[in-house]
Amino acid sequence: MFRGGFLRPSKPACSVSGAAMSSQTKSSKAWLKEHVRDQYVRRAKMLNYRSRAAFKLIEINHRYGILKPGQKVLDLGSAPGGWTQVAVDAVNSTESKPIVLAVDRLPMVEVPGAKFILGDINNEDVRVKIKEFFDLRPVDVLLSDMAPNFEGDRDTDHIAISELQACLLYTSDAADDLLCVDLGGRRIIKKKKSKK
């Protein structure tokens, strides 16, 4: 499963075109310049991961052994799919029998070995689709690497972070009922601190 310390997904990563950057602000251009130089961004591109965040999950899994072959995984806020790629490889999910489900409000190209649902976890129809995918059986691992869209205003960003964390905590706490998370299941949820 691990080759040289990192999982290798089967499909190439997505990239950002130069045309998409032309109307960026000065701070956005500075972030992008720093981002392109980032060693994990370069590594992700080289290993065909969709995002540098894949390495966070690889490190967590290496340290705590959370993802195991055969486990059913729900990835909330999955776009662009870096964590989904790692989960698919770690649990040996296949295209013919996927056991990884990715859900996001943003479109995402499906990761081979995973199923993708475009929608909001707060929508009852999406929750029903999740339950149907897992045949009303509990999932073993709930993943979420969600982050709000930042506006650049400290107060607005603080509210966005707080609201997202509250939503994730509610979803995680209510997951036994809403998402059928097994009592022995694990949850990996990103928590961002605001600068307030």
- Classify 108 in phi/psi space as left (phi over 0), alpha (psi -120 to 50) or beta: beta
Measured CA to CA in angstroms, residue 196 lies from 40, 115, 155, 159, 191 at distances of 28, 38, 8, 10, 15
Per annotation, catalytic residue among 68, 190, 192, 193: 190
- Classify 152 in phi/psi space as left (phi over 0), alpha (psi -120 to 50) or beta: left
Run of H or E residues at 75: strand 73-76
d(CA 161, CA 80): 20
Q: How many C-beta atoms lie closer than 10 Å to residue 28's C-beta?
A: 13
CA angle 162, 141, 46 (to 5 degrees): 85
Residue 186 forms beta bridges with which residues?
A: 141
> Is 97 annotated as catalytic?
no
Positions marked active-site: 190
